[in-house]
Chains A and B, each alone.
Chain A
């Protein structure tokens, strides 16, 4: 990772670093569009339920399997539940799962990467651990783990929080490996630089050097993998729910709505289209954002064009 060297000199150009990053980001049309779409989705699921006040769990057998209409913009399901309300509520959970799982995975990945990069003695064991995790068949294990611990957690902390905690923890703890590798590589390069030696000479503790001096310099790869991590976590959660082993049906998430709707394809095809569109648009917009972020934070690309 020799390309990290120019980063310090970026500070000396006329414009401040963040302004420069922003300008580069704004030049990436896909990234800007992605940000707009993502913010729009977030706003919709956060504010939406406040405006559209139909309760998502309210059943109405007389109005079941309805196609989209004026008073039921997304139609209804086989129990007459309103699909717009369900999709909005589901979006809140799906996005929350994505964000929290990403935070867990980033924290674990950063800590492991830092420790492995900073302490040569820990490098071997921690990287073997990373390899081990990379060799695990993640999806089958996630399915199995959910099946095993769902009931126990449900009983311990309640149905909603239990399954939420379980899914978020499982996704977070099985997706940190790439972050750890990238962070380790960057830390290995950065800890040889003069400012680290200077900090050591001043008597800073290892912790201080790691988290105060080195961490800010590895933030850009962390940011990029954070943004892509949200997308991946959302896909994983919906895949689990789609297999019937994610959230239970009384807790709507986009994946769960797909799972519930897939048996009604010939009656109400729109029922799977809405949550599918939400998942796809969210992931697509986040991926575009990540792309733009990577370009903007990469010192080799900045200043070009």
Chain B
């Protein structure tokens, strides 16, 4: 199992995707820090208190990046038919999916932590220029990081699960985008009650990335998202194991 997970990391490290995604996220981190510091009309003056908020700027997008990694980690195999070789090496397909369910969430977490470290360094530098010294021991910073790790890990899991179910790369990417941007919004307005809307996957993810504005507690959000991820992964694995690879 360990070697299968290592093989997934080798796959990830030997194409351009992860580097491009990392560069894009780093660029986005610069933007969020700049926007959060410069666009402060009517807000209290900048202080060390703002540090956790500055660091947490890219968290939502990072969970999206983890979702993308999960989806691509699975669908790329079908798109380029590398899945044939993968299943020749490991005919037990369940183990292949399991390795992906471990590898891509971990990759998403690693990417998130790297970008957040970069964001923290950036924010520290900017605040230092304003003669403010932030504290790395701020408890809120720990909560931001915990939320980011959980969100990235679980979104990566959801991504692998969705992709195992759909297999087609374009369909999986478009499907997820339409779901997040359109379907959930429609469901929200049709249900008319936010009390039901909060059980949707995006709301569960929001409880992790943006705990202040969400209606679920962080724990409930994490459990709910894990439940969605597990259901998708199980259904996807069943399909991948049974389908013919032609």
* A is bound by B: no
- Residues on B lying within 8 angstroms of A by beta carbon are none
- Residues on A lying within 8 angstroms of B by beta carbon are none
